[in-house]
């Protein structure tokens, strides 16, 4: 989305998908770690991703649903 016109996007199509709303996280795990590169946008999605990466993510589907309810209600 922020890579210029259609010609530039076609030439440099290296983003997983366009992001429109900041904040954005572009996480590139170290080579050989087996991690997948990810581009996340929207505050709630960024916070959920960061939380899971540092060990503060929900432990169950029920906790994740509660977290999502709180996040959506407060955004």
Looking at per-residue confidence, does 71 or 13 come out higher? 71
Would you state the pLDDT for residue 61?
A: 93
Q: Please write the tens of the pLDDT for every residue from 11-65.
A: 665 555 666 777 888 888 888 888 888 888 888 888 889 998 899 988 999 999 9
CA distance 23 to 36: 20
Identify whether 1 is part of a domain: no
Would you state the pLDDT for residue 17?
A: 62
- Among the listed residues 4, 36, 2, the one whose alpha carbon sits nearest the alpha carbon of residue 19: 2
Q: How many domains does the chain have?
A: 1
- For 62, the domain range is 6-73
Q: What is the widest separation between alpha-carbon atoms in the chain? A: 45
With contact defined as beta carbons under 8 Å apart, do 27 and 49 qualify? yes
Identify whether 17 is part of a domain: yes
Count of all residues that appear for the chain in the document:
75
Would you state the pLDDT for residue 21?
A: 73
């Amino acid at each position: 989305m922020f890579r210029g016109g259609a010609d530039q996007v076609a030439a440099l199509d290296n983003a997983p998908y366009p992001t429109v709303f900041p904040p954005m996280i572009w996480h590139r795990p170290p080579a050989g770690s087996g991690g997948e590169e990810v581009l996340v946008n929207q505050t709630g999605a960024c916070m959920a991703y960061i939380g899971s990466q540092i060990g503060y993510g929900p432990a169950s589907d029920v906790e994740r649903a509660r977290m999502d309810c709180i996040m959506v209600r407060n955004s």
